Structure 1
Amino acid sequence: MTTEMTRETNAASPGEPHRETGPAVTVVIPTIGRPSLAATLAAVGRVHGHGPEVIVVDDRPGESLEPLTVPGRVRVLRSGGRGPAAARNAGWRAATTPWVVFLDDDVVPGPGWARALTDDLARLPDNVGGSQGRLEVPLPADRRPTDAERNTAGLAGAHWITADMAYRRTALETSGGFDERFPGAYREDADLALRVERAGFSLVKGERLTRHPVRDDGFWSSVRLQRGNASDALMRHVHGPDWRVIIGGHPGRLRRHALTTGMGLLALTLAATGGRRRRLAAAAGLAWLGLTAEFARARIAPGPRTPEEIVRMAVTSVVIPPVACAQRIAGEARVRTGTTGRRS
């Protein structure tokens, strides 16, 4: 059954205070129409014949779209393809419950998730603004994980990610919700968590379990992930140079990528001039080759080392450094020129 609904408002009579209605928790799931959404919705479940209100935010761009196929109890909004931050904002602002839990459209809540969510949120003191579910990433048991699988597995130890993150509505209202200048599903959740904490709320880990299956996003998936470097520029602008330390992140490889890219550009420039600079060009080229080989080796060594994986790592290790640098430069430029988009 397909349900297509627009945002509803609960209008109070003049002079009457607004009253929250509906269940205690609303589940908000932004989606771009991935087939995995069906499994996510099926796993949310019900308790004693009643389940949390579920709002799916259709973030596919365009107007003439086939409606999403969802169960009849699911409410569907459209956000116009403005990204997951904007989609989540549309979802929680349409909800009327004191708690809103955000799920991604490619996770599968574990058995009894709805009941466990209720237990996680019950009797939390007012100063607790959010509760994160435990995230499990199933990996192959018969071989070493690939580079892409290891990247996904890293989510299991991440803090305050919206794969399964419940927020108190007052915390969302006080912090202003998600910053819609973050265009993709990267750092927008860490940014919100930092602002919620700065607003005086604490965040805790719950006991409910959600699984994040690993999916194959294609040969170039690791290259596409470099778009996140632009979001890192915005994080630095908003939260200062120590933002990685605050969120418990690792330093990353951007500086080494910059050195690798610089050596490659230097080698090409010197080679083009010819003459006596050819030796310098060769030296710069060898430096580029060594740095690239080190990067590829670091990615190949812990993996299954199949021919397909080795080729993928070798090719993408050449492409990633300049793409990462270009994305960071673009992000810095947008921050400095004020063209990062609108703040929610």
Structure 2
Amino acid sequence: MSVSIVVPTLGRSTLRALLDALGPLPPEVELLVVEDEGRHGPAATRNRGWRSASGDWVVFLDDDVVPAADWYRRLLHDLDVADDVGAVQGRIRVPRPQGRRPTDWERATIGLEDGAWLTADIAYRRKALDEVGGFDERFPRAFREDAELAYRVRRAGWRLVRGGRTVAHPVRPESRWVSLRTQRGNADDALLRRLYGPRWRGLLQIPPGRRGRHALITAAAAGA
């Protein structure tokens, strides 16, 4: 079994913390840091990464996570799976704020802990990626592109499971306009509806959204 680790990045300062946490990897492990120089989005950048990779397994890590000290050891254990398993997701832990309630943005990040098939830390079997063609580059944002890939992999007959390795996902600082930017994901939802019909959320294992709540936040920000 050979392993390649693909990290798409926009050159954020968080990348250094990720690389430091990974530490010195065994020489047989391939690490590919792929910069999104043309701002084509994470789907296209991950595709460039895994298509250049040589491993039987391709592990996608976002550039703002921090792997636990035993991450690689647990990864090897996670990948010791049956031949029909196409992907193994790691576990995400989001640090909570101390002494106060989390903001809406922080709660949204905390929600990643329960998310299904997130590319913050997920390992795909190379055969599965080859079979379905990788990420759909019509999804330009870090939003829905991972769930859509997971659905096509499952539809192709592969099983997706959860592993035991963990990464921390600190909450990135954001401006007051983050809710406005979040609304851009509605275009991706519309594309999924066109592709998979009105039951797309259930098919892709995506929980009901908070569009009404986002609309309230947006209205309040616009009136401030």
Paired residue type of 1:241: P
Partner of 1:58: 35
Runs of 4+ in 1 over 4 A off after TM superposition: none
Deviates more, 1:218-227 or 1:127-136: 218-227
The number of aligned residues is 223
* Aligned counterpart for 1:88 among listed residues 46, 54, 57: 46
Q: CA RMSD in A?
A: 2.0
Give the structure-2-normalised TM-score. Answer: 0.93
* Aligned counterpart for 1:154 among listed residues 111, 114, 129: 111
Q: 2-side partners of 1:114 and 1:50: how far apart?
A: 13
> Tell me, which stretches of 5 or more residues in structure 2 are unaligned?
none
1:129 and 2:86 aligned: yes
Deviation of residue 248 (structure 1)?
A: 3.1
**1:185 counterpart SS class:** coil
Q: 2-side partners of 1:129 and 1:237: how far apart?
A: 26
* Aligned counterpart for 2:144 among listed residues 154, 171, 187: 187
Partner of 1:244: 201
Partner of 1:101: 59
1:172 and 2:172 aligned: no
Q: 1-side partners of 2:18 and 2:191: how far apart?
A: 31
**1:60 counterpart SS class:** coil
Paired residue type of 1:157: D
| Contact in 1 for aligned 2:147/2:206 (Cα 8 Å) | no
| Contact in 2 for aligned 1:45/1:112 (Cα 8 Å) | no
Higher helix share: 1
Paired residue type of 1:42: D
Give the structure-1-normalised TM-score. Answer: 0.61
| Contact in 2 for aligned 1:30/1:58 (Cα 8 Å) | yes
Q: Call closer, same or farther: CA 1:223–1:96 in 2, change over 3 Å.
A: same
> Mapping of 1:19-30 within 5 angstroms?
24-30=2-8
Q: Rg larger in 1 or in 2?
A: 1
> Mapping of 1:205-244 within 5 angstroms?
205-244=162-201
Q: Call closer, same or farther: CA 1:213–1:51 in 2, change over 3 Å.
A: farther
Q: Call closer, same or farther: CA 1:209–1:115 in 2, change over 3 Å.
A: same
**2:184 counterpart SS class:** helix
Q: Call closer, same or farther: CA 1:118–1:313 in 2, change over 3 Å.
A: farther
> Tell me, which stretches of 5 or more residues in structure 1 are unaligned?
1-22, 62-80, 258-291, 297-311, 320-344
Paired residue type of 1:85: A
C-alpha deviations, 1:219-247, integer Å up to 9, x for none? 10111011111001111122221111223
Partner of 1:35: 13
